[in-house]
Amino acid sequence: MLKTPALIAKLAMAAAMLIGGVMTAAAQSPRPEKLVVGLLPGESAPTVMRLNEPLRAYLEKKLNIPVELVVGANYAATGEALRFGRLDIAYLGPVTYLLRARSAKLEPFARPSHAVVGPTFQAVVIVPADSPAKTLADLKGGEIAFGDPASTSGTWVPRYQLLAAGLVSGRDYQLRVLGAHDAVALAVVNKKVAAGGLSYPIYQRLLKEGKIDKDATRILELSPPIPEYMWTFREGLDPEFREEIRKAFTSVNDPEALKVFRAEAFIPAVDSDVDRVRTWMDAIKNANPEAIPAPQ
């Protein structure tokens, strides 16, 4: 039987709908048998695992499935693991999230909120206690240590602070990549660099735990408020399971699970929450389009 143009069009439409349905079903994986949670190596992997164990235990009990914590070899590794579906959710800094979201449909869903300052934190630029530097501009010509190349508070925000003071990396100071916040602090303590940029909350904890001498460094400048890290879903995670996870986070009331985040609670997060960081990154790239060097 000859097919009329109208019939052919209808068959083509039905086929397209069928193929689309199959592709959609394939993109949405079933509810996993365990939740794999990605964490950034802001400090050594054992420290990150130890600090996040109360949250792991809370989620395991709340979701009634095993929960595994995975600390990436570096920030990019954690972001890529989420992008390729090897993690179900990950706790990403604004920069790591923005870099990975360019090539995957990642969905932020929760972020920590703190007393007084809300869902923000700060970076800090520190110098040896006896440094002659009184302002960031005084660091011109020196070597400055940073953390991971994709770290928000360990690289990009301190670089923005220096840029605001008129200093561009490669032109006005030498950038040294050390990979982790604690490594940056120790480099400043031991006077291996003129200054270092890192997370202010981590700096405070290193001082509190006695991991760096409280008299060995001083703060040169605190950053503007930074949008907090965001818990982020991978693409294709089962929608119903997403909602279970979302509710588990926004209903956390276990002080131990919140302690590492210094949080009163987790609140909803959306992509536009990190627009401020987008602006800072653009400013840095416009001043110096060269990529951040790899860790040495």
Tokens of 187: 């480099």
How far is Cα 170 from Cα 10, in angstroms, rounded to an integer? 62
CB 236 within 8 A of CB 29: yes
CB 43 within 8 A of CB 212: no
How far is Cα 291 from Cα 296, in angstroms, rounded to an integer? 15
Going from the C-alpha of 37 to that of each of 96, 140, 143, 189, 198, the distances in angstroms are 15, 41, 36, 33, 24
Question: What is the rounded radius of gyration, in angstroms, for the C-alpha atoms of the chain?
Answer: 22
- Domain identity same for 136 and 48: no
Tokens of 280: 């800072």
Q: Among residues 148, 123, 153, 115, which one has the least CA distance to residue 261?
A: 115
Q: Among residues 174, 212, 166, which one has the least CA distance to residue 43?
A: 212
Question: In the prediction, which pLDDT does 277 show?
Answer: 97
Question: In the prediction, which pLDDT does 29 show?
Answer: 65
Count of domains forming the chain: 2
Q: What is the pTM of this model?
A: 0.85
Question: In the prediction, which pLDDT does 53 show?
Answer: 97
How far is Cα 130 from Cα 76, in angstroms, rounded to an integer? 35
- Domain identity same for 218 and 234: no
Question: In the prediction, which pLDDT does 28 show?
Answer: 55
- Domain identity same for 107 and 235: yes
- Domain identity same for 111 and 129: no
- Domain identity same for 154 and 128: yes
CB 152 within 8 A of CB 225: no
Place of tokens 């818990």: 231
Secondary structure (3-state) at 86: coil
- Domain identity same for 187 and 144: yes
Question: In the prediction, which pLDDT does 127 show?
Answer: 98
CATH number at residue 193: 3.40.190.10
Range(s) of the domain holding residue 249: 35-116+227-282
Question: In the prediction, which pLDDT does 292 show?
Answer: 54
- Residue at 165 is within a domain: yes
- Domain identity same for 72 and 196: no
Choose the final residue of a domain: 224, 243, 258: 224
Quote the distance between the C-alpha of residue 166 and its chain's center: 26
- Domain identity same for 272 and 246: yes
Q: pLDDT 10s per residue in the chain (296 long)?
A: 444 444 434 444 444 444 344 334 334 567 889 999 999 999 999 999 999 999 999 999 999 999 999 999 999 999 999 999 999 999 999 999 999 998 889 999 999 999 999 999 999 999 999 999 999 999 999 999 999 999 999 999 999 999 999 999 999 999 999 999 999 999 999 999 999 999 999 999 999 999 999 999 999 999 999 999 999 999 999 999 999 999 999 999 999 999 999 999 999 999 999 999 999 999 999 998 775 544 44
- Domain identity same for 185 and 199: yes
Choose the final residue of a domain: 189, 205, 224: 224
Choose the final residue of a domain: 185, 207, 224: 224
- Domain identity same for 234 and 215: no
> How many of the other CB atoms lie within 10 Å of CB of 17?
10
- Domain identity same for 133 and 217: yes
Pairing of strands 89-92, 107-113: unpaired
- Domain identity same for 58 and 94: yes
